[in-house]
Every structure is written in structure tokens, then in C-alpha cells.
Amino acid sequence: MSRFSAVDVITTKRNGGVLSDEAITWLLDAYDQGDVAEEQMSALLMSIFFNGLSARELGTWTDRMIASGERLDLSGLSRPTVDKHSTGGVGDKISLILAPLVAACGAAVPQLSGRGLGHTGGTLDKLECIPGWRAVLSNEEILQQLETVGAVVCAAGQGLAPIDRKLYALRDVTGTVESIPLISSSIMSKKIAEGTGALVLDVKVGRGAFIKDVDRARELAHTMVGLGHAHGVETVAQLTNMNAPLGQAVGNALEVTESVEVLRGGGPSDVRELTLALARLMTKLVGIDVDPAKKLDDGSAYETYRQMIRAQGGDADAVMPVATIRDIVLAPEKGVVQSVDALAVGIAAWRLGAGRARKEDPVSATAGVMCLVREGEKVEKGQPLFELHADDEVHLESGRVTINGAVRISGEARKSSKLLLDFVSN
């Protein structure tokens, strides 16, 4: 019989105590085996939400999540390995551009990605708009593609940090998603198990992000960077402004189209700016002395993207599907755009059909929002602000109602906000 009990572990953390390594290991193993009830783990997650975890507790918690499953071995690849993880944002299609770009520079990029939930989009949902493209690959296929193409964007295997999948679903329904130790252990356990040698974290902060406050985002970045270093993964973090949507396109097929525009040397300036900033961090971490901008502008990144899509069964030349219904939202007055609310735009895209409330919900490939104005731009009364895309009138009306008020206009001059906010390396 175990000398631990779930109730004792819960009350220790509830009362602000520190859990032993043995208690954490026992608890996570027992939960994984079904010997700790969901309501008991829910109580512990809420206790952690309010009282946190010490650095030692967090390290042990993360170690146990990693040890609960398999680890990919990328050591046999001829290229240095480096990955990027974003904490989630509105219009954040960076992975689609970044993985082939950094691969074109000479690295291997194992982008094991997820699906969208709520107002933030999922990389896999976007790529599944491409006919024939496969999200699920075997470990052998991942390794082969990394060696030959240099980039893979696919679903994380069921064997990587399996405890995290159970905890993630529970956090989502218990109001504990925003806990910094729980976010950190969730992200880093999967990335460390993935086997990459280096990692760049894109920590979003602002209205459209899970973390709204810069100081908390900085704390999250420091925590994750520390976990990476403790596990031998060279890790840095970039704090990125997510008050406004990234780029113009918010929605699955719309974002694929915009990503291809950037890969071909065009596209919105903010998407290009963030892509190149992250690419430069990634190449620097693994000692590659290549300017990513050249690979973006000379077509190398686009060709690597095409190879990556074809390697996973996709038609890289397919025309993206388009929505059957479109509607334009017009400016109610003349003035200067003070803000474009990323959260409101993200929720509108979700209501239009581009997102899901539960993991098992279907998503529309074509639904979404095109943002036609940016902060600091002058607009006339009646000028288009947004183009809404939907598959039916019901979804269109839901999105239309949600997006009202997403743009704030006044007569005052307004400078655009900085996109890159801070950098964390320790």
C-alpha cells in the first residue's frame, strides 16, 4: 500500500506547502493509471493555480510528464535540430512559413503541432485545407522527412508526454489554463520529449493571448527557458505583441494563402518581421551563419515548403477553397484606427466557423476574417474594415455580431505598437 494519498497531496498544496519529489512522482503515475480520480486532480490543479510550484517541484513535475511516454531520438540526423513553439495567437500562421524557411537555411525543424481551441487557430487545421495533406506520421516518417526535406509539421505522437494530454483536457474545463507552472510543464514536456537540440519560444502577450500582462508573460518565458536549459535544450524566448491580429488573414485556408504569399517574398509586413526575427534566433542557436531573409526572397523557402507539403501527401499547387458567403464590415465614422482587438477578431472567426469549442468539433476550412485596416491608419466613413467569410447565413450573422466594436476609431493621431516586445535567454 502506498504511503501517499491524493487527499494529503491536495491539502499540502492547498495550504501552501511544498510537495516532495516522491509525492509528485506517485501522484502523476497514479493519475495516469486511473488510481487518482479526475475530481481529485482537478482540486490539485486549482491548488497549483493559486499557490504555484517551486522550481524543484516544477522540474520534477515536468520530468515525470516526459518520462510517462517515449522520446524521439533525432541524434542521427545530419542537420542540427531546432524548433519553435508559440503560446497561441490570432492570425498566428508563423509555423507554416518558419519551418521551411529555417530548413532552407540548413537546419532540421521538427514542428510537432496541435489543433485550435477557442479563439486561437491550430496549425494542423490550417494545413488540412490542402488536399491530400496528412497530419499523422510515424516516427520513421518524421525522421526520414527531417533528413531529406529538413522540415516537418505534423501531429505530436500519442506516445509523447501522454500525461499532458489528460492534464490539458482537465485544465481546459477547470479554469486552470493560465497557470504559469502548468503552461510551462505542458509545453516543455512535449518539446523536450520531441528531441530537438534547440528551441525558440514565441510568447504572445496582449488582448488576443492567454497571457494579457507583459510581466506575467516575461515570468512564463523565464520559467520555460529555465526548464529547457535544465534538460539540455538550448532555449530562448521572444515576447510578441498580440493586441492586434497577426497579418490580415484569420481562418484556416485564408492563413495558408497568406503564408504562401510571405514565402514568395510578399505578404503583410508584421508576419514577415516576426518570421525573420524567430528564424534568426533559430539559426543562431544552432550555429548556422545564413541570413533567412535571403532564403525568403530567393524562393528557397517556398521550394522547401512545397517539398514539405508533397512529402506529407499534399498538393502544393492546389487552389485553396473559398467561402460561399462573404460580407463587408464598414467604418461607422471617419478618423484614425486606435486599435484592432485581436480577441474580438479571433472570437468572430471562431463564430464564423473557423474554430472549435471542443476538441472533437469540426472546423470550416474556408471561414474566417480578413482584417483590412491596421493601427494608426486613417479611414473614411464607409471604408471596409473587415471581410467576413462563412459557409452559411447562421454562422455569418454570429460572426457579424461578434466583430462589432473590434475596431476603435477616433480623431487622434496613433502610432502603431511595437510587435517585438522583449527577449529572454535565461
Task: For residue 401, count CB atoms less than 10 angstroms from its CB and return exposed for 0-12, middle for 13-18, buried for 19 or more.
Answer: exposed
Q: Catalytic residue, from 119, 126, 190, 389: name it.
A: 190
SS3 content of the chain, % helix, strand, coil (to 5): 45, 15, 40
The closest alpha carbon to 258, from 126, 114, 423, 87, belongs to: 126
Q: How far apart, in whole angstroms, are the C-alpha atoms of residue 307 and residue 314? A: 9
Helix ranges (H only) for 298-350 are 300-311, 342-349
Known catalytic residue: 392? no
Known catalytic residue: 213? no
| Apex 105 CA angle, 104 and 111, nearest 5 | 65
Pairing of strands 198-205, 82-86: parallel
Q: Which residue has the cell 504555484?
A: 52
Q: Catalytic residue, from 64, 171, 204, 395: name it.
A: 171
Known catalytic residue: 414? no
Cα→Cα distances 121→180, 192, 259, 262, Å: 21, 23, 14, 18
Count of C-beta atoms within a 10 Å radius of residue 152: 23
Known catalytic residue: 171? yes
Q: Which residue has the cell 467576413?
A: 388
Q: How far apart, in whole angstroms, are the C-alpha atoms of residue 335 and residue 332? A: 10
Q: How far apart, in whole angstroms, are the C-alpha atoms of residue 132 and residue 312? A: 8
Amino acid at 406: A
Strands (E), 66-159: 82-86, 109-113, 151-155
Contact (CB, 8 A) for 364 and 391: yes
Q: Catalytic residue, from 13, 64, 84, 85: name it.
A: 85
Pairing of strands 384-390, 368-371: antiparallel
Amino acid at 36: V
Q: Catalytic residue, from 186, 259, 339, 364: name it.
A: 186
Cα→Cα distances 178→220, 236, 346, Å: 10, 21, 18
Transcribe 144-211 into DSSP letters. HHHHHTSEEEEEPPTTSSHHHHHHHHHHHHHT-TT-HHHHHHHHHHHHHHHT-SEEEEEEEESTTSS-
Q: Catalytic residue, from 63, 164, 270, 341: name it.
A: 164
Known catalytic residue: 190? yes
Residues with active-site annotation:
85, 164, 171, 186, 190
